[in-house]
Amino acid sequence: MTCLQCLKDALFPDGLPPFLVCKIFADLINTHNMDLEPKNICHADLNANNTLLSPTMEKELPQVRIEHLEDVAVWDEQAVVKQIMNLLQYLTNCESRIPDEFRTTKKGEKLKDSKGRSLRDGDRLYSFVAGYDPEGQLSWKDLKRRWRNLADCSAKELYDKGRSADVREALWDGVVGDEE
């Protein structure tokens, strides 16, 4: 298990690769939607230190896990939205579009773009995250309805085998700080 803070500091100080940002985004929404909201609880302080990644044997993308669930509060959808969006702003360095270095694979090749709009969708997601206003009116329902599927699809469409291998190696080797 490696915390997002450790991974970002060690490998991606300018922001995580878009496929990983999108995977984390979709998984955080799913975890809150399926595991926490039904129990009427939320994390009291979701951040890059208590959101962990672990490698999997059967999947290319790591599992996302929220740690320290003893730090819970009563479900507060605005707090959940704010925590998720603040974490994503940190992971993307508040970039309003996918940075140039991630618009191609690690080898410099064009990203596989089966739908012909993957980079544009990724840019939309980055712009949404960068433009998030904590004083605004973004609802939990809107976050789930409008952005979960886009994030999930973008994680697959923006996948970069080379950068994924770097992430997997770091997670397997524990070189970026084991949390367990």
Domains in the chain, start-ordered, CATH in brackets? 2-173 (1.10.510.10)
Tens-place pLDDT, residues 26-41:
999 999 999 999 999 9
Alpha-carbon 103 to chain mean position: 17
51: enclosing H helix or E strand: strand 51-54
What is the reported pTM?
Answer: 0.91
Tens-place pLDDT, residues 97-137:
999 999 999 999 887 766 668 899 999 999 999 999 999 88
Burial class (CB in 10 A: 0-12, 13-18, 19+), 145: exposed
Q: Which residues contact 123 (CB under 8 A, 6 or more apart)?
A: 97, 98
